[in-house]
């Protein structure tokens, strides 16, 4: 593959930013196109440069990563956002995903985990580090409304329903493909159909909507 994923990095700690830039530069499939240490400047430059993915710290001076995500998605919805932070509160995860982030990793993960997270997001997936994921889904479970119309309100096909139910259990695109004996790109195609029918843009939004409708169980 000759095309490289264009990445922009937002991190307020200079030493960590320098390390991240160094690590990302070692991956031949990635191209770092810019960086910032605070939110306002980051939003302006991201909208101008239009990277494919933003690796974004949550705790920033001025506006935080959640607000950066909101503004970026409002002005440049095609830009993916992957949160990388030391903060692992499931409420913050919820806020970041609702704001439009496609994934969330804590800073203690290694370079290969960041690399695979970027790849997963660029392939249409949603990334949650395992240590966060269980509490995250438990948090959504606690928000779930009593089902009023547990039938299929979005006219999903049986195959699409199965894909959505596996995604709700936290499986990645590759894992769903393995379980269902489908190629990863086929899973991605089904997910795009699910998103369109449900009027959402990500795994998490689809799962939250399905949970609130009583359509899936965790």
Q: Which residues pair with 64 in a beta bridge?
A: none
Fold entry, domain 145-212: Arc Repressor Mutant, subunit A (1.10.10)
Cα separation, 181 vs 195, whole angstroms: 21
Q: Any idea what DSSP says for residue 182?
A: -
- pLDDT tier, 1 (very low <50, low <70, confident <90, very high otherwise): very low
Residues of the chain within CATH 1.10.10.10 domain(s) are 145-212
How confident is the model over 129-171, as pLDDT tens digits?
665 666 666 666 665 555 454 567 898 998 998 998 888 877 7
- How much is the pTM? 0.70
Distances (CA, A) of 132 to 113, 170, 215: 14, 11, 23
What pLDDT is recorded for position 82? 94
Cα separation, 80 vs 69, whole angstroms: 9
Distances (CA, A) of 202 to 15, 49, 63, 76, 100: 32, 23, 24, 16, 8
Residues of the chain within CATH 3.40.50.2300 domain(s) are 5-137
Q: Provide the H-helix boundaries in the chain.
A: 14-25, 39-49, 65-75, 90-99, 111-122, 130-143, 158-168, 173-180, 184-198, 203-212
Cα separation, 59 vs 39, whole angstroms: 9
Percent of the chain scored above 90 by pLDDT? 42
Average pLDDT along the chain: 84
Superfamily of domain 5-137: Response regulator (3.40.50.2300)
């Amino acid at each position: 593959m000759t095309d490289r994923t264009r990445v922009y990095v937002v991190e307020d700690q200079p030493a960590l930013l320098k390390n991240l830039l160094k690590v990302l530069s070692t991956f031949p499939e990635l191209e770092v196109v810019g960086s910032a240490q605070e939110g306002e400047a980051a939003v302006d430059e991201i909208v101008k440069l239009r990277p494919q993915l933003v690796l974004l710290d949550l705790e920033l001076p001025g506006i935080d990563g959640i607000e950066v995500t909101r503004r970026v998605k409002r002005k440049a919805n095609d830009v993916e956002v992957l949160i990388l932070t030391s903060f692992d509160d499931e409420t913050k995860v919820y806020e970041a995903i609702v704001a439009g982030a496609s994934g969330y990793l804590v800073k203690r993960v290694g370079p290969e985990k960041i690399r695979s997270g970027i790849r997963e997001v660029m392939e249409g997936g949603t990334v949650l580090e395992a240590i966060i994921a269980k509490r995250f889904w438990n948090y959504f479970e606690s928000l779930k409304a009593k089902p009023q119309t547990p039938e299929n309100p979005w006219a999903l096909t049986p195959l699409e329903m199965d894909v959505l139910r596996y995604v709700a259990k936290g499986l990645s695109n590759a894992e769903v493909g393995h379980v269902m004996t489908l190629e990863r790109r086929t899973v991605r195609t089904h997910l795009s159909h699910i998103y369109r029918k449900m009027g959402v843009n990500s795994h998490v939004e689809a799962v939250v909507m399905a949970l609130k409708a009583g359509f899936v169980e965790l």
